[in-house]
Each structure stands twice: as C-alpha cells, then as structure tokens.
Amino acid sequence: MFLSLLNRKEKLKFLDLAIYMIDIDGDPTDAEKRLLAKIQGELGRDIVDEYTFSKSKTVEESIEFFKDKSEAVKNIVYFNLVDISMLEDLYNTSEHLFLEKIEKAFPISASKRKQLIGIVYEFRDLREKALREIKY
C-alpha cells in the first residue's frame, strides 16, 4: 500500500526487501505469490520489467539504501513489510527478526511500530468485513 509514492529506485529496492521477506521462510506459499503479484501491480509494469528478480548482493545493501531516505519512505517500506509478514497465520521467527533489523536500521520507534502494525490489522479487518458483507 502506498508504494506508488516511492520513486523508481525506491520501488526496486523495496521489491528486493519484499522478495527477501517472502523467501525468508522457504518456498513462497500461494498466498505469498498472490501478495507478490499485488505488490508488483502496485509498483507498476515498468518496475517489474526492469527488476531482474535477483536480489541485491546482500539484504543489508537494500536496507542501507533506505537509511538516508525520508521518514515517510521508511514508514511505507516498513508498513508493507509488516503487511507481508502478517499474511500467514503462523508466527515466523525469521520474519520477526528481519522486521527488528529494519526497525533498528531506519529507525522505527516503538510507538510508530505500534501505529503501523495497528493500521495493518485495521486494513485486514475491514477487508474481512467487506468479504463477509458481499458473501464472498
């Protein structure tokens, strides 16, 4: 969400982090593949075509890229990574540790973390409510 607000290079580097997050616990599930397709749709066809689907040499390189970016850019990146991590019902330690690494590198305060995670839950709750109402 809000990925269209990122510039071209930020979108490409975010895609690195998103793919890393999806791959962190092994082969992507069908739900993760659908979410990646949704993310790619939001980023735009030109970004997806430009991306080689080979992550940066290290994930640290992609994290480092965002260190000097604006707070808004960091919040968008973190928010979307939290959204990815909450896709599955199972708690994954590797994803949690990766998010902690992002929190420290950006830095994301405890209160901002709580706000952004709360918004992810609110979005998910609203989506579920809408699905119930349309009986899908």
Q: What is the DSSP letter of 29?
A: P
Question: Residue ranges of the chain with pLDDT lower than 70?
Answer: 52-56, 89-91
CATH class of residue range 3-134 = mainly alpha
- Do 97 and 135 touch, CB atoms closer than 8 A? no
What pLDDT was estimated at residue 50? Answer: 80
What pLDDT was estimated at residue 52? Answer: 67
Q: Which stretches within 6-109 are classed as H helix?
A: 8-23, 30-43, 45-50, 59-66, 71-85, 93-105
CB-facing half-sphere around the CA of 26: CA atoms within 13 A = 4
What pLDDT was estimated at residue 6? Answer: 95
What pLDDT was estimated at residue 26? Answer: 81
What pLDDT was estimated at residue 87? Answer: 83
Domain boundaries in the chain?
A: 3-134
What pLDDT was estimated at residue 53? Answer: 56
pTM exceeds 0.85: yes
What pLDDT was estimated at residue 54? Answer: 53
What pLDDT was estimated at residue 55? Answer: 56
